[in-house]
Chains A and B, each alone.
Chain A
Amino acid sequence: GAGVSQSPSNKVTEKGKDVELRCDPISGHTALYWYRQSLGQGLEFLIYFQGNSAPDKSGLPSDRFSAERTGGSVSTLTIQRTQQEDSAVYLCASSLETGSYEQYFGPGTRLTVT
């Protein structure tokens, strides 16, 4: 079956613009996660969803970041008024449920803020 997909694969935007990143999880996976990976760094947890609910938003770096998930499926990560330090690869993952379940990662969206 299809894996996790993300779009766009690459996004170049000007400082101050808003961007939307999309994640399509594996069908039937109730848990969805967003991570950020800067060059040469590890994965920074941003937010996760169980169904449409986001119990833990503590990883979002600032109030310019928000995310939603609708229909227990597609999720959108929105970054408002982008800054250069937002440049990174944004990775989405899904799993059957939260907890002790393998995460399946998408290929990521590479965001460059100029």
Chain B
Amino acid sequence: SQQGEEDPQALSIQEGENATMNCSYKTSINNLQWYRQNSGRGLVHLILIRSNEREKHSGRLRVTLDTSKKSSSLLITASRAADTASYFCAPKSGGSYIPTFGRGTSLIVHP
């Protein structure tokens, strides 16, 4: 299994601004998932993007995948204070049964 690496480690923005987080990985993947973790709670699944997809949307979330660069990005538009959380990417390789998680990006949205 391989681990995704999120960048930046921390991001601080004002409410209403957009937030972009990036994820890089090392080997070919079947899919990549993004999760959110609010303080003191478990992780919540946001989006799964497959290796043959380039972009997916879910509400204010937009995920892109560039397999040639082995990278993905998560864009949160019109951020809200409630978006304050840590965001993790979890790439899954074809030879692995499990996605693995990096250290995450800590996002703070100031009201």
Instruction: Select from chain B the residue with minimum beta-carbon distance to A97.
Output: B97
Contact A91 B42, beta carbon cutoff 8 Å:
yes
Q: Tell whether A106 is near chain B: CB-to-CB under 8 Å.
A: yes
Instruction: Scan A78-106; emit 1 where CB is below 8 A from any B CB, else 0.
Output: 00000000000001010000111011111
- CA of A48 to CA of B98 in the docked complex: distance in angstroms? 8
Q: Tell whether B77 is near chain A: CB-to-CB under 8 Å.
A: no
- Give the size range of A's interface with the partner: 20 to 34
Instruction: Select from chain B the residue with minimum beta-carbon distance to A104.
Output: B45
Contact B99 A55, beta carbon cutoff 8 Å:
no
Q: Name the residue among B41, B44, B97, B98 with the largest chain A CB count within 10 angstroms.
A: B98
Contact B103 A48, beta carbon cutoff 8 Å:
no
Contact A107 B41, beta carbon cutoff 8 Å:
yes
Contact B102 A56, beta carbon cutoff 8 Å:
no
Contact A91 B43, beta carbon cutoff 8 Å:
yes
Contact A42 B45, beta carbon cutoff 8 Å:
no
Using CB atoms and an 8 Å cutoff, list the residues of chain B in contact with chain A.
1, 3, 30-31, 33, 35, 41-45, 48, 50, 88, 92, 97-104
The 4 closest A-B pairs by CB, nearest first: A105-B42, A42-B103, A43-B101, A98-B97
27 A–B contacts, CB within 8 A, in A order: A31-B97, A35-B101, A41-B103, A42-B88, A42-B101, A42-B103, A43-B88, A45-B100, A48-B98, A50-B97, A56-B97, A56-B98, A91-B42, A91-B43, A99-B97, A100-B30, A100-B50, A102-B33, A102-B45, A102-B48, A103-B33, A103-B35, A103-B43, A105-B35, A107-B41, A107-B42, A108-B41
